[in-house]
Amino acid sequence: MEVMQVLHMNKGDDENSYAKNSKVQSKIISLGKRINEEAIMQILCSNIPDIMGIADLGCSSGPNSLSVISEITDIIYAKCRELGRPTPELKVFLNDLPHNDFNFIFGSLPAFYDKLKKEKGSEFGPCFVSATPGSFYGRLFPSRSLHCVHSSSSLHWLSQVPAGLESNARTAMNKGKIYISKSSSLCVLEAYSLQFQKDFSSFLKSRSKEIVPGGCMLLSFMGRRSTDPTADESCYHWELLAQALMSMVSEGLVEEEKVDSFNAPYYGPCVEEMRLEIEKDGSFSVNRLETFEIDWDGGVDDVDTTSGAASRGQRVAKTIRAVVESMLESHFGKDIMDELFRRYGEMVEGYLSKTGTKYTNLVISMVRN
């Protein structure tokens, strides 16, 4: 699987789109708001640059794409007014993989600019928004061009399926599974861990060249509290998806070899793994590191009244489908998607009725040394 070519959130704004099924990610953004504000304030209190570079890595599309940028501009505007200083010119870069639905974002920009003008007036410095397609596991921006980097719900995606687990591997190392599970062999666990270490190291090295000294970086992504990579908090949503696929194998609807040859390019690290890579790189100092628990469906407070009749399992299935369908479709074909996620929703409903398992989200604020 070529991750850069096949991974993208579901496009458009239909019932299976990411735009309509990203409430969990919205909740995660809101939980990190206080830490984000704290990090940006630290920059503005020490020095307000004339031109400020801001990047959102893994911006996706839909309502969340510009919400982070809107939040950052609010923080900058409020602090500059408090200090009696003019606001800097803002260069905003929205990054995601090349097949992201950037057109959806571009269509939202006129309303975004109108809102800025209406709320902040002519005294607010110009804000220039552009797209930067590419993998954040390599360089994306000129040296020392960024003051603030934000990334939410993205860094749990790896640059590739771990070595040895690719679909063309001679031997299936993770039979009947599509991610780490309690039955996975040690070599599978090690392959995923090594791929995360390699990718996160590349991410830090790239950002260390692009962020100015004293600049901030706020990262928020799925992880785990436990040091055990097979803990339910980080992998059981994948376990249930594997079970849904294997139920279709038992009925002859999916080839077993197809399941055996698919492994998700995903990894939810623990705090210790993150800290180790940051310390090894040495370019950043950690200001704050917190963990939050998130309901699989985002919580009842986030349920849209127009779709409130949907069960928790159905809501979770739609959320996961909006994120992973592009990868599954490229491997298993389009025809099984409706049935697969119907079964998955039923399995999730049964599982959540018996357990209080939640996602664990890691939020880390860092400063460039």
- Return averaged pLDDT per consecutive 10 residues of the chain, 369 residues in all: 75 87 89 86 84 94 88 89 89 94 92 90 85 96 96 94 80 89 93 96 98 94 93 91 96 94 94 95 94 86 53 93 93 95 95 90 94
**Three-class HEC string of 54-107:** EEEECCCCCCHHHHHHHHHHHHHHHHHHHHCCCCCEEEEEEEECCCCCHHHHHH
Domain holding 129, by residue range, is 15-299+309-368
**Three-class HEC string of 101-131:** CHHHHHHHHHHHHHHHHHHHCCCCCCEEEEE
Contacts of 81 (CB under 8 A, 6+ apart): none
Contacts of 264 (CB under 8 A, 6+ apart): 161, 178, 179, 238, 324, 327
Contact 95, 58 (CB under 8 A): yes
**Does the residue 6 lie in any domain?**
no
Q: What CATH code is carried by the domain that includes residue 357?
A: 3.40.50.150
**Does the residue 286 lie in any domain?**
yes
The letter for the amino acid at 169 is: A
| Predicted TM-score of the model (pTM) | 0.93
Q: Quick one: which H or E segment has residue 321? A: helix 312-332
How far apart are alpha carbons 212 and 367 in whole angstroms?
Answer: 10
**Does the residue 304 lie in any domain?**
no
Q: What is the pLDDT of residue 302?
A: 46
3-class SS at 39? helix
**Does the residue 338 lie in any domain?**
yes
Nearest-CA neighbor of 226 among 269, 191, 286, 258? 269
How far apart are alpha carbons 13 and 68 in whole angstroms?
Answer: 19
3-class SS at 148? strand
Orientation angle between helical segments 337-352 and 312-332, nearest 10 degrees = 140
How far apart are alpha carbons 272 and 288 in whole angstroms?
Answer: 14
**Does the residue 111 lie in any domain?**
yes
The letter for the amino acid at 79 is: K
**Does the residue 156 lie in any domain?**
yes
Place of tokens 């982070």: 68
**How far from chain centre, in Å, is Cα 149?**
14
**Does the residue 7 lie in any domain?**
no
Place of tokens 């950043």: 284
**Does the residue 3 lie in any domain?**
no
Count of domains in the chain? 1
